[in-house]
Structure 1
Amino acid sequence: MTKKVLVIGGCGRIGKSVARDIATHTEAEITITSRNPESQVEPPFKFLVLDLSDPEQILKAIAPMDLVVHCAGPFHHRDGKVLESCISLGINYIDVSDHRSFYERVIKHQNSAIAKGVTAVLNTGIFPGISNSMVKQGVEQFDRPEKIHLSYVVGGSGGAGLTVMRTTFLGLKNKFSAWIDGKWQEISPYSEREVIEFPKPYGKTGVYWFDMPETYTFADSFPVETVITKFGSIPDWYNHLTWITAHVFPKSWVNTPKGIEFFARVSYLMTKATDPFSGIGVAMRAEITGEKAGKRETYCTTMVHQNTAIAAGAGTGAVAELMLAGKLKKPGIYPVEQALSTEMFLDTMKSRKIEIINH
């Protein structure tokens, strides 16, 4: 019997990439949702208007499905009702959630998911997503891993839309806790610039502290003393503008919905102008330090892709492929690094021609 997949928010840049990847690698029947009734989708996809503020609509939409893939961010503002509905109906779930606050809101349903036999995998995509599995691969090389340093850089818009821009500026609003030297410490967003050597064509570029779900979940997933997550943009002057937004402009400018929307739209227009020159790709670098056979060593992996949105689609689509095939079944709610094995991760990346390079 043909499996049915619902891609919520499938008309956005990331959602479209996810739907296309699932269509390429599975035989599933895919329905894409949007709150806009005028949205259009191309075959082989079906279309459904869905208002996520209406619980009855959510239940009706997901009831006939085998898998729900939630791509409608920003997840700072999502209440977890889609996941709750999936658990109540016994339907597996994946999302591209990108903030610790969402994880904290939904993890309370862990026991219910286990009781219902529902596998729910959070934080899939590219960062978080592929980044998490790169770190897991590195951690597994050690007898005693000590430090995770994850950094990534995006060219221009990364091929993403306004939702991702909003997420970036929402991440500048507040200080956040990071796991450093075995304890939680407060960090200012977009601080402590560090120049990292990324693979070509990016080379050396600046990255800054940024609050990602990995900052929070890695401390629970892996027995390490320090977790560092840093982000940067190309061209580098975007980094300086973002730093000014975080540290110079009045806090009120990024603490209101109107302020976030203003910065997101201005940034989006700027990247549309620079994308032809900067590209829309992504590079990631995961460096793990620890002890192996009594010696202190460092293990590093890198990954590059020319289109960030397509890479995000691959990260989420890979998890969907495995779940639909019955290869990934782990009842409960987990960040992707706790659900996906390194072997399955590498196999699905290879089939998508995404190379994870070990250094």
Structure 2
Amino acid sequence: MAPAALYLNQTLLACSKERESRVYHPNKTHLNSRVLIIGGTGRVGGSTATALSKLCPHLQIVVGGRNREKGAALVATLGKNCEFAEVDIENVKALEAALNGVDLVVHTAGPFQQAEKCTVLEAAIATKTAYVDVCDDTSYAWRAKSLHKKAVAANIPAITTGGIYPGVSNVMAAELVRSAKSESKYEPERLRFSYYTAGSGGAGPTILATSFLLLGEDVVAYNKGEKVKLKPFSGVLNVDFGKGIGKKDVYLLNLPEVRSAHEVLGVPTISARFGTSPFFWNWGMEAMTSLFPAEFLRDRSKVQQLVQLFDPSVRAIDAIAGERVSMRVDLECSNGRHTVGIFSHRRLSVSVGTATAAFVLAVLEGNTEPGVWFPEEPEGIAIEAREVLLNRAAQGTINFIMNKSPWMYKHVEFSPSASLSGTITGFESCNIDQMDCRSHLLVGRLIILLRK
């Protein structure tokens, strides 16, 4: 593939020096855009800064965070086009001041669960700054979407849920649906998102907190157009992620791409699942949904206590488990057509930054209209820009395929440890009541220690 910087010679946006009169011009060129990464000293933000500096060395990158020592260390590795700025997103005036002179802001300071306001997006609109976030929370994503008209009025493009998953997975789904509709007179009927990450994926406490907070949310899925609610971390399926990953168990979670893909792409049956390894982490997650009340798992302060307790063990096991990541998107149509997209990488900590950087460049290149958009919306990432975005995001992958028939992989199967609940006819719902009692005993002892 040609160096990503060459793509900037095609259709980059231009930004005027006066912020009050800024207008995005997709057909003009602006190589020296200034990008602020909120949460830039964290794993995701730091990975995004590193990826951007490699994909487009001309960009001016501002690492925004609260840890000046970490910021200085990252800046030293990225070179002369990078600088650090101390940024606290809770201080609105300071945040808006930090956005002064910035062309685009990337919000990577999660977790997004339980956040009450879209502070960074609101500041971006107020200062007329383009915006990308890596939100992985349904409520936050739709709160961001509610600011669409304000973003249009400010004439700024904004992408919410633009990272690896959701993000790249949404674009993969959009391309599967588009291809199916263009090649067949039959309509898409079922869309399934399946995700796997070894350990914490090297992303540290943030992804751990995100996972625990999601366990406190009912899972929203769609069955033949009807919204259904299911128990978190239930409905286990055994999915073949193909080369480099193999078969992994994945469980239902409440992820934002389910609703956005249902409403944007019009697929009537959609679900999303996630799994990790070693296998006992999955057992622990399932057990937590039974042993802790949902109110506990939705409490950010209590979840942070759990994170502090588990983090040393997670990091120790991460060193053994590695941080491989894989996404599989399955689309089934009414005529029996079944196509698959798979994206696998050896290191989540690297891949998430590359994926986020791909969205940043897409926005800077003028592929996003003013407003707040999900990645699968053509106004968010133009259809003709999707291939470039996916190719950029896929750099370094060990397996990346699109629009292939699943004959090259075994079909998704129910895990032997699961039984059909029968509560939702025609929908993939199952429980884990038949799980080996020894796993419950092991995890139960851990939870009892936590609750003391």
TM-score by length of 2: 0.75
Is residue 333 of structure 1 aligned with residue 372 of structure 2?
yes
1:256 aligned residue: 299
Deviation at 1:250, TM superposition (A): 4.3
CA distance in 2 between counterparts of 1:329 and 1:224 reads 23
In the TM superposition, 1:282-293 aligns within 5 A as: 282-291=325-334
CA distance in 1 between counterparts of 2:295 and 2:388 reads 46
1:356 aligned residue: 400
2:112 aligned residue: 75
Is residue 301 of structure 1 aligned with residue 331 of structure 2?
no
Give the AA of the match of 1:259. Answer: K
In the TM superposition, 1:73-222 aligns within 5 A as: 73-76=110-113, 77=115, 79-143=117-181, 144-222=187-265
Per mean C-alpha deviation after superposition, the further-off stretch among 124-133 and 41-50 is 41-50
CA distance in 1 between counterparts of 2:53 and 2:166 reads 22
Per mean C-alpha deviation after superposition, the further-off stretch among 301-310 and 271-280 is 271-280
Number of residue pairs the alignment of both structures matches: 355
2:59 aligned residue: 28
1:42 aligned residue: 75
Instruction: State the secondary structure of the residue aligned to 1:323.
Output: helix
* Match among 303, 320, 327 for residue 277 of structure 1: 320
Is residue 3 of structure 1 aligned with residue 19 of structure 2?
no
1:231 aligned residue: 274
Instruction: State the secondary structure of the residue aligned to 2:257.
Output: helix
2:45 aligned residue: 15
Give the AA of the match of 2:319. Answer: P
Is residue 51 of structure 1 aligned with residue 81 of structure 2?
no
* Match among 333, 336, 351 for residue 311 of structure 1: 351
CA distance in 1 between counterparts of 2:384 and 2:283 reads 39
Deviation at 1:38, TM superposition (A): 3.8
250 and 87 in structure 1: CA distance in 2 versus 1, 3 angstrom threshold: closer
* Match among 100, 104, 114 for residue 63 of structure 1: 100
Q: Is the 8 A contact 1:199 1:283 kept in 2?
A: no
Q: What is the CA deviation profile of residues 41-80 of structure 1, one whole-angstrom value per residue up to 9, with x for unaligned ones?
A: 3233211111111111011000210111111111121511
In structure 2, the gaps of 5 or more residues are: 1-29, 182-186, 405-452
196 and 109 in structure 1: CA distance in 2 versus 1, 3 angstrom threshold: same
Task: Tell me the C-alpha RMSD between the 2 structures.
Answer: 1.8
CA distance in 2 between counterparts of 1:81 and 1:253 reads 25
Higher strand share: 1
Deviation at 1:160, TM superposition (A): 0.3
Deviation at 1:336, TM superposition (A): 1.2
CA distance in 1 between counterparts of 2:347 and 2:396 reads 13
CA distance in 1 between counterparts of 2:387 and 2:320 reads 31
2:19 aligned residue: none
CA distance in 2 between counterparts of 1:252 and 1:221 reads 31
Instruction: State the secondary structure of the residue aligned to 2:105.
Output: strand
Q: Is the 8 A contact 1:157 1:268 kept in 2?
A: no
Q: Is the 8 A contact 2:341 2:401 kept in 1?
A: yes
CA distance in 2 between counterparts of 1:193 and 1:261 reads 27
Is residue 268 of structure 1 aligned with residue 306 of structure 2?
no
Q: What is the CA deviation profile of residues 103-142 of structure 1, one whole-angstrom value per residue up to 9, with x for unaligned ones?
A: 2222221112112211001111111111111111211122
Q: Is the 8 A contact 1:151 1:285 kept in 2?
A: yes
Instruction: Name the structure, 1 or 2, with higher relative contact order (CA <8 Å, separation 6+).
Output: 1
Instruction: State the secondary structure of the residue aligned to 2:146.
Output: helix
Instruction: State the secondary structure of the residue aligned to 1:57.
Output: helix
Instruction: State the secondary structure of the residue aligned to 2:147.
Output: helix
Instruction: State the secondary structure of the residue aligned to 1:5.
Output: strand
In structure 1, the gaps of 5 or more residues are: none
Give the AA of the match of 1:171. Answer: L
Q: Is the 8 A contact 2:215 2:294 kept in 1?
A: no
Per mean C-alpha deviation after superposition, the further-off stretch among 237-246 and 31-40 is 31-40
Q: Is the 8 A contact 2:63 2:75 kept in 1?
A: no
Deviation at 1:341, TM superposition (A): 4.0
Percent identity of paired positions between Structure 1 and Structure 2: 28
Q: Is the 8 A contact 2:217 2:294 kept in 1?
A: no
Q: What is the CA deviation profile of residues 145-181 of structure 1, one whole-angstrom value per residue up to 9, with x for unaligned ones?
A: 1111010110111010111111110001121422222
